[in-house]
Amino acid sequence: MPIERASTADRAFLAMEGGGRAEQIGVALVLESGPDGPDVATLTRLVGERLAAVPRLRQRLVPTPWGCGGPIWVDDARFDVRRHVRHVACPPPGDERAFLETVVSVVAEPVPAEAPLWSAAVVTGRTDGATSLVVVLHHVLADGVGGLAVLATLVDPGASAAAQPLPRERPTTRELALDAWRTHLRSLGRGRWWLRQVRRSFAAAGGLAPPRAESCSLLQPTGPRRAIGVVAVDGRALREAAHRFGATGNDAVLTAVAGALQRVLRGRGEAVDAVVIAVPVSGRRSDDDGSLGNMVSPMLVTVPTTGDARSRLLAVAGQVRRHRADASGPPPIALLGGLFRPLAALGGFRWYMRHQQRLHTLVSHVRGPEESVHVAGRRVRAAVPVALSESGNITAYFEVLSYAGTVTVTAIVDPDHVPDLDELLAGLRDELDVLAALEP
């Protein structure tokens, strides 16, 4: 059988944890309410049946003997879907705030390291009677686009998969050693390619010594707590308005986020001339959206906060067009993995993130299905994205998911440093509404 190794980018996400918060991504699928909705047993069985289409969800990441290369994915001989799917009751009063707090707690709970690196929770107890399925993946398993590939197998009617005996035989030590040496020999002739990719990747991320982001209260060492709030808008209207100016829906979201953060700062008696946003850019080929693993690189976008919405949108669109190609290759953490991983394991990455002055926030945008999907016969009426990681001194960041004509923006904040989350959400909604109504 082929040897499946964690990529250098995947291993970098493992090293990032370094005693800090687990690097995990999740999405809450809110199912349409009604009589005879799916219960916990039904959803657990459904998830178990459809896992066969994604073998990685039945695999563990294990180290190899010395000289045999990086860790490999192997089938979990003790796999039991009941260890991964659980029931969680939304506490009273079961409103939107209580639901979102429940989602955060589910995504924040570390997945067990000795089992396949994912979990799911069936959340009940909402006042509207809706049942939700919250799916959580460790970042070593997939990035946002890869996570969508997992979700695509869980929705009706499920993906077909060829039956295969499990667990499959593990590769021998000799096979691992030979594979590691072949990989090493192939890499010896790629020095020029590596240097070219390093230059491109760092250029997209602002270079080795980018200008300092303006100091403000958005940058403060964060604590362990997280709170989230959600804004959902008409995605088609936003995209069509952006297209009238040669921009994209994602450009509009970046513009709105910067405007909303500026409103918050003004409420605190502060202001900045620009908000610097890190944007993960997928390096997947158009025919490779179904694979897992991490294939994203950071791109820095400096979004002006002065001027009208049209001029700010045009400025964002121009920057993204200039730098997107450079960010479509391997990320710096993968290219410099041999140096990055030991430093991160010693706490270097966490220290850097708590002192960095490169960016104010991060906005990750993933595009989901254009049409509504169903789970266990129920329409998914909303999909709420959440990602939890070592945010360092970034007190607010954003996850964005386009689904069935709606753009859902989740603001993830440290509530001790962002007590004005409601003001942030109101400003974000206002900014998005202004952009969606732009005319040439």
- Name 399's bridge partners: 364, 410
Look at residue 289 in the predicted model and tell me its pLDDT. Answer: 43
d(CA 323, CA 298): 10
The string of pLDDT tens digits covering residues 102-114 is 999 999 999 888 8
Mean pLDDT of the chain, nearest integer: 88
Pair type for strands 361-367 and 274-282:
parallel
The string of pLDDT tens digits covering residues 399-420 is 999 999 999 999 999 999 999 9
The string of pLDDT tens digits covering residues 354-383 is 999 999 999 999 888 999 999 999 999 999
Per-residue pLDDT band at 391 (split at 50, 70, 90): confident
- The angle subtended at Cα 28 by Cα 6 and Cα 54, nearest 5°, is 35
The yes-or-no verdict on residue 287 having pLDDT over 50 is no
Query: With a threshold of 0.75, does the pTM exceed it?
Result: yes
Look at residue 405 in the predicted model and tell me its pLDDT. Answer: 95
Look at residue 218 in the predicted model and tell me its pLDDT. Answer: 98
Q: Which residue do the tokens 């809706």 mark?
A: 130
> Which amino acid is it at 301?
V
d(CA 365, CA 420): 23
The yes-or-no verdict on residue 19 having pLDDT over 60 is no
- Contacts of 234 by beta carbon, 8 Å cutoff, 6+ apart: 405, 406, 407, 436
DSSP 406: E
Tokens of 368: 């989901």
Instruction: Name which of 188, 119, 187, 170 is nearest 4 in CA terms.
Output: 170
> Which amino acid is it at 422?
D
Look at residue 143 in the predicted model and tell me its pLDDT. Answer: 65
- Contacts of 402 by beta carbon, 8 Å cutoff, 6+ apart: 235, 249, 365, 366, 367, 368, 408
Number of neighbouring beta carbons within 10 Å of residue 346: 13
Look at residue 204 in the predicted model and tell me its pLDDT. Answer: 66
DSSP of 177-214, one letter per residue? HHHHHHHHHHHHT-HHHHHHHHHHHHHHTT-SSPPPPP
CA distances from 265 to 288, 411, 415, 427 (A): 41, 16, 15, 11
Q: Quick check: 255 and 312 in contact, CB under 8 A?
A: yes
